Amino acid sequence: MKKSNKLLALALGACICVSVGALSACGGKKDTVVIWAAEEDKALVQTLVQEFKSANPDVKEDISVEVQSVWNAQSVVAKDPEAAADVIMIPHDQVGIMAKQGLLAEIRDGTAATFATDIKTLNAPATVQQATYDGKVYGFPLTMDTYIMYYDTTIFPDDTPAQRELLKSVDAMLALDMANSPGTKEKATAFGFRIEDGFYLNMGFFAMGCTLYGENGDDVTACNWNNENGLKFMRYAAKNFRQSGKKFKSDDVSNLAANVLNHRQGACISGGWEMQDTFKNAEHIGYTTLPSITIDDEEKELVSFSNSKLYVVNNRSQYKATASRLAAFVTSEASQLRYASERGYYPTNLKAQSSESVTGNEFFAVIRAQLDKSVPVPVIPEISRYWEPAKALGSSLYNGSLKGDDASLQAALDTFVASLQQD
């Protein structure tokens, strides 16, 4: 977010310009609209920016692409909104927090554009809801994602019905006598996910019918993870998802994926992005929807969280009109298809979802199937209260500091639920 008048004032304070040519040399830089992109997306965004400039010759500002992680964008903007970009990519669960803080510009229809209407009519309903807070639209949806299970076909082959059936059950994978990892004397891990991360810890609770912030994710007083079904999952996790168990591993998802890639682990759970990052061009990697766990002799399929990423406009931007046009362009149907083909992102645009390049893609078919079974991360600002208690709960399960008796497990759940009610 750079303003030439400020630069000009500084330049005039440092020197006296005596001609138009000298004035230009002293500081006549054009205004600049800044758009943030993740490092891995920067090249594509730069290409889209060039296409935007060619298609919109009336735009007078320069446009600059700068690298910024999606996941901590909210905290970066909150520290210094004036210094932040004009167009910012965020995960949808930051919409409510940032809107409440006054950091986001409301997206509206104008005299020459139908931004809000297009967002509502062109995108999947779930992502429209995720771009909306308190009845107002704040973002341009770009991609929707969830997590699935990836597996090493040299450890868990999938050639026969019986082999594919095994991949549907966490218990079946954990029951196998694992072979040594190639070139080592250590046995490969069977299965893993990041249990210390609330984005993944929820799977078992949701499988048991528990809810976070109510059925619709908007009731800050409602979390029933400490009911009987939640306790049943805690018993299961305390028995099967301990670090001491050896066959299960929790770690950063990128590390888990690397283990699967390098034949040190049979299967792991991670997001759709992993196919473009860790597993790109890896022929021995398979993927499928989430497996089940067995509780009280019943198969309970794990249920994922899902999220969307979207571009928002900085409420402090001096170029909101151009920023909105740019955000609309880089999230258009055509742009989303580019993200799909070049970055492996599943689109939010309904026409893009229906395109042959998406419907005919086997990987996207698995992502779509899991999305249909998923629970969106709540948009309400109070979701910020969830992550640290969930991390603590998952960590205590994995490292064994939480005892496995019912009294200890129930107390931990009660403490967790109570913490969600505290500011």
How large is the average pLDDT for residues 402-413?
97
Same domain, 296 and 389: yes
Residue 13: predicted pLDDT: 42
> Which residue's entry shows tokens 């759970």?
269
The Cα-based distances of 304 to 221, 270, 340, 415, 417 in angstroms read 22, 10, 21, 23, 20
- 134-159 as b/e: b if 16+ CB within 10 A: eeebbbbbbbbbbbbbbbbbebbeee
Pair (300, 391) in one structural domain: yes
Of the candidates 212, 91, 199, 94, the one whose C-alpha atom is nearest the C-alpha of residue 144 is: 91
Give the pLDDT confidence of 386-399 residue by residue, as tens digits. 999 999 999 999 99
pLDDT in tens, 284-343: 999 999 999 999 999 999 999 999 999 999 999 999 999 999 999 999 999 999 999 999
Burial class of 4 by CB neighbour count within 10 A (0 to 12, 13 to 18, 19+): middle
Q: Is 217 left (phi over 0), alpha (psi -120 to 50) or beta?
A: left
Can you tell me which residue has the tokens 């040299």?
Answer: 154
Q: What are phi and psi of 35, to 5 degrees?
A: -120, 135
- The answer to whether 89 touches 142, Cβ cutoff 8 Å, is yes
Q: Could you tell me the residue range of the domain that residue 415 belongs to?
A: 145-306+380-419
> Same domain, yes or no, for 124 and 181?
no
Mean pLDDT of the chain: 92
Same-domain status, 13 and 39: no
Degrees, nearest 5: CA angle 81-88-337: 175
Q: How far apart are CA 208 and CA 390, in angstroms?
A: 17
How many Å apart are CA 332 and CA 313, to the nearest integer?
16
CA dihedral (360, 366, 367, 372) positive or negative: positive
Residues 298 and 314 in one domain: no
368-407: b or e for each residue (b if 16 or more CB lie within 10 Å)?
bebbeebbbbbbbbbbebbeebbbbbbbbbbeeebeeeee
Structural domain count of the chain = 3
C-alpha separations of 170 from 160, 241, 247, 267, 388 in Å: 18, 11, 11, 10, 26
Residues in the chain: 423
d(CA 97, CA 346): 25
198 plus 288 within the same structural domain: yes
Q: E strands of 28-122, at which residues?
A: 32-37, 62-67, 87-91
What pLDDT, in 10s, does the model give residues 16-53?
333 333 333 344 456 999 999 999 999 999 999 999 99
Angle between helices 333-343 and 42-55 (to 10 degrees): 160
Indicate whether 155 and 293 sit together in one domain.
yes
| pLDDT mean over 376-385 | 93
Residues 214 and 294 occupy one common structural domain: yes
Residue of higher predicted confidence among 69 and 112: 69
Domain of residue 217, CATH code: 3.40.190.10
Enter the tokens of residue 284: 């021995």
| Whole-Å CA distances, 192 to 281, 374, 381, 389 | 22, 19, 30, 21
Question: How much is the pTM?
Answer: 0.89
Q: Flag whether pLDDT at 231 surpasses 70.
A: yes
422 three-class SS = coil
User: So what's the pLDDT on residue 30?
Assistant: 64
- Write out the DSSP string of 241-293: S-GGGSSEE---HHHHHHHHHTTSEEEEEEEGGGGTTTSTT-TTEEEES--EE
Same domain, 82 and 48: yes
Task: Specify whether 182 is located in the same domain as 240.
Answer: yes
Task: Output DSSP code: residue 40.
Answer: G
Note whether 394 and 325 are same-domain residues.
no
Interval 176-182 mean pLDDT: 93
Residue 37 and residue 19 in one domain: no
CB atoms within 10 A of CB 361: 17
